[in-house]
Structure 1
Amino acid sequence: MYHPILHANKTSPFGDLTLEEFYQKNQVLHSYSFICTKNKTKLYTQTWSPIAPSPAYPPRGIVAMVHGYASESGWMFETTAVAIAKLGFLVCAIDLPGHGRSEGPRGHIPSVKPVIDNCIQFFDDVRASNSHLPAFLYGESLGGAIAMFISLRQKEEWRGLVLNGAMCGVSRDFKPVWPLEKLLPAAAMVAPNWRVVVAGNLVERSYKERWKRELVRRCPRAKRSFEYPPASTALELLRVCEEVGRKCREVELPLLVLHGEDDAVCDVESAELVYDLASSTDKTLKVLPGMWHQLIGEGREILEVGFEVIFSWLKERTK
């Protein structure tokens, strides 16, 4: 198993290489562009594809990736995109509104529905240009919930769904303390941008290795405010978890659910319930002992085991 994060250092996920040198070393082609949404917001998009030795070796499939809250399609998330591209896939990802290089108030997602529309707009364009390739959805944390909602909107368009530490339910330890959880709807209405500390610190609870927490914060576009979502966003994240619980029975795609047993952000029991209730006839559950919320934040042993499960699952379904 190869994952570029194994060669990262404390200051860069790309090690001592420039970004262009990083692509060249990993033999992938990279492109980026901006799309304009219906409400005139510019969103940053990226694609990665393997440098094939000849035209006789086309990509084996498409993997559309959705990052989580307080993340982006670049930086550490990008290393996973490159790892999947090296397997022979065309990979695409988008910075959600208010994240990364996309426009929008930083970290504000008062409603996930337009975000789903944004992702579908971009992913449809990628698939339209490569309609002969099987397409898969991959989501981490909040991105996992968004990927699931996309799959339900477009049941006939996707070949499989990968949920890595998906937001199927918020951990009891991470929910707002009582009585603030009960008061959150009122707070979101009166002061939607109020960044009250409604839960534990997101970065501190997500990445087990300390140096990777600092690496997350070294991202040029990182904001400390991301680590505590505003009231309106916190309320929406809780609502998203409820909707995942209601709709997971409708999932029929081949499904991989990978989750950390010690995830203190997104509840492992909720992820197991999504797996149990999904209607998919081809479904796999992998709960990794000792793993926190972010697989990429683990030490080498757990990281290699987890990503090998994901990589093997994708390759098996494109044979």
Structure 2
Amino acid sequence: MAAPDMSGVKFSSLLKYEEEFIESSRGVKLFTCRWLPADKEAKALICLCHGYGMECSIFMEDTGVRLAKAGYAVFGIDYEGHGKSAGTRCYIKSFDDLVTDCTTFFKSVAEGVEYREKARFLYGESMGGAVALLIHRKQPNYWSGAVLVAPMCKIAEELKPHPLVISILKKLTTIIPTWKLVPIEDIVDIGFKDPEKRQKIRANPYVYKGRPRLKTGYELLMTSLDIEKRLDEVSLPFLVVHGEDDKVTDPSVSKLLYASAKSFDKTLKLYPDMWHGLTYGEPADHIEVVFSEIIAWLGKKSEAVGCPENAHV
């Protein structure tokens, strides 16, 4: 990636927030941001992977602030076509390109002077959980652990398309890849419980609110099917948190990940009466419970491990 182009820096008494644009290997301008402890050395590095249609700087601001106040250096990137990054809105031409962009950016941060000896964690929400798992697949010994919030890593059996439908879909993606032809329920309505939070999401100009594009839908489908087949390859320490009333990603997905992964160190937390948006869309007391679990888990892991072995291999 090309050298970054700085666009914004903000300070407070507890943390520092910075923004910059970088250029991908394909020449696409990508937005990145970071939340850093203002007056102390970071305990560890956390790299954010946001969900489908979402972005980092506004939607994940509370996550970044909470983790930075807890002592972590937190870095996020808007995928191509998402948030403040360039590209056709919410068009995923290649999920592998998206994962490669994240891998390259996070690696450039992790191997900088400030963080090369720190523990490093992936943090993925929803589709970002799939991104995090695929980054781990590319770098199986690189990460100290991962926090996965309602991850997208399996399609419910009753929702899986017939192979003939998949074949037709694949052919159509070569003809009308960007067409908004894929019907879907309003994720904001079914994913975020708090009405005020729904309004804020809809008011966020960087959150995509249209119907999924044809190629995007196909890429998400094929990525989910691929991850599902290879869950037993997941080997890093991880924490999965999932709402039991989630209608966007089925909690059975997280149960399967927990059961299938060969990770020796793995934790699953299920929350009764909570929906998909665990870290943003729930009432304040629910969000506090979820973040207390996440921060406690990160604290134990960052104390127990340093920079992973073979990190530069």
Tell me the TM-score range normalised by the shorter chain.
Answer: 0.7 to 0.9
**1:298 counterpart letter in structure 2:** E
Which one of 258, 263, 277 corresponds to residue 275 of structure 1? 258
Task: Determine helix, strand or coil for the equivalent of 2:20.
Answer: strand
**1:156 counterpart letter in structure 2:** N
Task: State how 1:73-152 maps to structure 2 within 5 Å.
Answer: 73-129=56-112, 130-152=115-137
Matched with 2:310 is none
Given the two structures, how large is their TM-score scaled by the length of structure 1? 0.86
Unpaired runs of 5+ residues, structure 1, are: 1-18
Report the CA distance between 1:301 and its aligned residue: 2.8
180 and 155 in structure 1: CA distance in 2 versus 1, 3 angstrom threshold: closer
Task: Determine helix, strand or coil for the equivalent of 1:266.
Answer: coil
How many pairs align?
293
Matched with 1:49 is 36
Report the CA distance between 1:182 and its aligned residue: 7.3
Deviations 1:117-143 (A, max 9, x none): 101111111111110111000000111
Task: State how 1:1-319 maps to structure 2 within 5 Å.
Answer: 24=12, 27-52=14-39, 57-129=40-112, 130-170=115-155, 183-225=168-210, 228-295=211-278, 296-319=280-303
**1:24 counterpart letter in structure 2:** S
Aligned counterparts of 1:155 and 1:247: Cα–Cα separation in 2: 13
**2:47 counterpart letter in structure 1:** A
**2:31 counterpart letter in structure 1:** Y
Unpaired runs of 5+ residues, structure 2, are: 1-7, 304-313
Report the CA distance between 1:107 and its aligned residue: 0.4
Moved over 4 A (4+): 171-177, 179-183
CA contact (8 A) 2:90 2:212 kept: yes
172 and 248 in structure 1: CA distance in 2 versus 1, 3 angstrom threshold: closer
Q: Which moved more, 1:82-91 or 1:216-225?
A: 216-225
Deviations 1:248-303 (A, max 9, x none): 21111111111111111112112210111101111000111111111110112322
Aligned counterparts of 1:161 and 1:277: Cα–Cα separation in 2: 16
192 and 45 in structure 1: CA distance in 2 versus 1, 3 angstrom threshold: same
Task: Determine helix, strand or coil for the equivalent of 1:75.
Answer: coil
Report the CA distance between 1:76 and its aligned residue: 2.2
CA contact (8 A) 1:175 1:199 kept: no
Pairwise CA RMSD: 2.3
Q: Which moved more, 1:299-308 or 1:256-265?
A: 299-308
CA contact (8 A) 1:63 1:135 kept: yes
Aligned counterparts of 2:184 and 2:158: Cα–Cα separation in 1: 8
Task: Determine helix, strand or coil for the equivalent of 2:302.
Answer: coil
Aligned counterparts of 1:220 and 1:91: Cα–Cα separation in 2: 23
Deviations 1:218-265 (A, max 9, x none): 11323432xx21111111111111111122211111111111111111
77 and 165 in structure 1: CA distance in 2 versus 1, 3 angstrom threshold: same
**1:306 counterpart letter in structure 2:** V
Aligned counterparts of 2:277 and 2:157: Cα–Cα separation in 1: 17
Deviations 1:156-192 (A, max 9, x none): 2110011101111245787789x97775334333321
Aligned counterparts of 2:160 and 2:62: Cα–Cα separation in 1: 30
CA contact (8 A) 1:180 1:198 kept: no
Aligned counterparts of 1:263 and 1:252: Cα–Cα separation in 2: 26
Given the two structures, how large is their TM-score scaled by the length of structure 2? 0.87
CA contact (8 A) 1:96 1:102 kept: yes
**1:184 counterpart letter in structure 2:** L
Identity among equivalent pairs (%):
35
Q: Indicate the structure with greater helix content.
A: 1
Aligned counterparts of 1:189 and 1:265: Cα–Cα separation in 2: 27
Task: Determine helix, strand or coil for the equivalent of 2:148.
Answer: strand
Matched with 1:4 is none
Task: Determine helix, strand or coil for the equivalent of 1:168.
Answer: coil
